[in-house]
Structure 1
Amino acid sequence: MIVVASDDGFAVVEMLGNEGQIEVGDVLRADWSELGGGEIRRGAEVFDVYFQGAWGTAQAAVDSTRAM
């Protein structure tokens, strides 16, 4: 799982395959308010993901991943 900062807060995203390809500092595009299955994009690359939810702080998002 990864935590992604967006304009609306911090999204927790479960990668479905290709887990090691996203790195700190990568610019990702997605509908961060989505819940459930979806996609994120890094340039022309598309990754299948499962959106776990959004939180107001990075710490709350990280804590939620530890509880899952």
Structure 2
Amino acid sequence: MQVFANGSWQDAGSQFFAVSSTGRCAVVLQAPGRAGIQARVRTDYLYGQSGDTVNASVYGSWTYVYFSN
């Protein structure tokens, strides 16, 4: 995840989430009481870090999120 601050995208941390047997994963992003936050997230499969060593690393496209009231 990255947040837009000071004119550029800044890393806001990363975390691995398990994917269900149907290939889905639900994550809730919250910013209680805050508005105007611009963020972006993407999915990645990282060779050797995502649970197996069968497939090559793949990076998904960015999904942009805007927090408003």
More helix by percentage: 1
Q: TM-score, normalised by structure 2?
A: 0.24
Q: TM-score, normalised by structure 1?
A: 0.24
Which structure has the greater CA radius of gyration? 2
More strand by percentage: 1
Higher relative contact order (CA closer than 8 Å, sequence separation 6+):
1
